[in-house]
Amino acid sequence: MVAIYVAALPAGAFVSCSRDLLHSLLALRRRWPALQITCAYWVKDKTDARLICREVNASLSRGDDGLLVATARTAQRKVENVAAHMGIALTEHDTVLARARTAVAYIEQRIAQAQAAGELAWFNSAYRAWRLEAKQQGRGMSYAEARARLRQNIFRQILTNEVQTGPHHIFPPLPGIDFPVLE
């Protein structure tokens, strides 16, 4: 997913897209410290986001500083209208955050249930074996990172409806174990 955002400044507005709103905000604030992201919408892919941004930016006039002369509210309405005209669904940022919180809570609940039922014994054994082997090669991974990889794997399973249980789908490959070492 990619966000289309409208940022406001006293001198005008800015419309762009990003996969990471915080990173974009911080980068833009280096140039314009007063910048505020006033709204963000999420679309399925980068191509749709770029199409919308290109159309919005082409249809609104710019000032000498390169910013849109329009207010942030006008730019927001233009984003909504362009997306509707193109037939591209926009999802509000708050909705995406709520869905993400729900998904994370669901995954944490599934992991806790599996832990309580003893169904994570395979994971703990696989992590220990991977860690011991990785240590011999000067690599490592904390248990917290391993659990994060497990959460990511479960999330991927939910999204794709594919069962991918097992250490090969969670832990990084190790030379000599997962693939041959070329000499």
Q: How far apart are CA 126 and CA 114, in angstroms?
A: 15
Q: Name the band, by pLDDT with cuts 50, 70 and 90, for residue 154.
A: confident
Q: What is the pLDDT of residues 50-102, one digit of tens each?
A: 999 999 999 999 998 889 999 999 999 999 999 999 999 999 999 999 998 99
Angle value at C-alpha 96, between 152 and 73, nearest 5 degrees = 145
Global confidence as pTM = 0.72
Q: Where are the domains of the chain?
A: 2-89, 94-169
138 φ/ψ sector (left φ>0, alpha ψ -120 to 50, else beta)? left
Cβ count within 10 A of residue 99: 12
Residue-level pLDDT at 166: 59
Distance CA 68, CA 152 (A): 39
Handedness of CA 57, 60, 66, 70 (dihedral sign): negative
Place of tokens 């709103």: 21
Q: Categorize the per-residue pLDDT at 160 as very low, low, confident or very high, splitting at 50, 70 and 90.
A: confident
Neighbouring CB atoms inside 10 A of 141's CB total 16
What is the spatial distance between Cα 13 and Cα 112, in angstroms, rounded to a whole number?
46
Residues 11, 13, 16, 19, Cα dihedral to 10°: 90
| pLDDT tens by residue, 18-47 | 999 999 999 999 999 999 999 999 999 999
